[in-house]
Amino acid sequence: MTDSLKKLAIIGGTGLTELEGLEITDSKEVSTPYGAPSAPLIFGRLGGKEVVFLARHGNPHRIPPHEVNYAANIYALKQQGVTTIIGVNAVGGIEDVMGPAHVVIPDQLIDYTHSRKSTYFEGEMDTVTHIDFSFPYAEETRQLLIRAAEKHDVAYSNYGVYACTQGPRLETAAEVARLERDGCHIIGMTGMPEAALAAELNLEYACLALVVNWAAGKTENIITMEEIEQAIDEGMGYVRQILVESITQG
């Protein structure tokens, strides 16, 4: 593996509470100064390489996006020596080419969330600390994911602005129109503060997003769970292919 992928973690979102094909070697319930992570950390081998897996919403899927303890999740992975994180996210599509079952490897994001613990740099500190967050995703890891998608002939986009909304409700059509005017291509609820917290701990972080529905107002139909589940069933296989290829070639 490259230096940046010495120890890789995968954070699985909706549709990925377990990592198929992972040869599990250990499972740990850990604690952090920020509380317990969403689920036990699962250690194993995938594609012949060591990997740590964490179910973002718990297993079973039970923690809504606005109640995920992102600070504990990221800190727990750092404690285990993880250096690189791939966050898998289920998202809605705004851009015309980013429909259901399409894979997106975003290069930017905009945070529309509120009331979430979004930094480790608070409380009694010796000095105010800022991080550069101009480019929120690690380019080396992004390129690894892009090469994996190309090798498996997956329908994907190698760019995208991820709009992170508060949830757990889906957005209104007017809100989606606003996000589109802001330049967003996909909408999710879990990309932040996850990416920023990883950056504060000097972890390489990239997002692998699966579009599971058209965003509100992009079609005449309402969004249904049946539609989302169908896209997950169709597209999560692509996500797993990309993950295995990235880990194997990384």
Which residues sit in the known binding site? 14, 56-57, 189-190, 213-215
Residues belonging to the binding site for phosphate are 14, 56-57, 190
127 sits in the region (left: phi over 0; alpha: psi -120 to 50; else beta) called beta
User: Cβ contacts of residue 75 below 8 Å, gap of 6+?
Assistant: 32, 33, 34, 120, 197, 201
Q: At what angle do helices 225-249 and 139-151 cross, to 10 degrees?
A: 100
Question: Any residues with CB less than 8 A from the CB of 163 and at least 6 apart, and which?
Answer: 94, 109, 110, 112, 179, 182, 184, 186, 187, 188
Contacts of 231 (CB under 8 A, 6+ apart): 100, 101, 210, 211, 212, 213
Residue 47 CA neighbour count, 13 Å, CB half: 17
Q: What is the dihedral of CA 125, 130, 131, 136, to 10 degrees?
A: 110
Binding site per annotation, positions for substrate: 189, 213-215
Tokens of 231: 């896209």
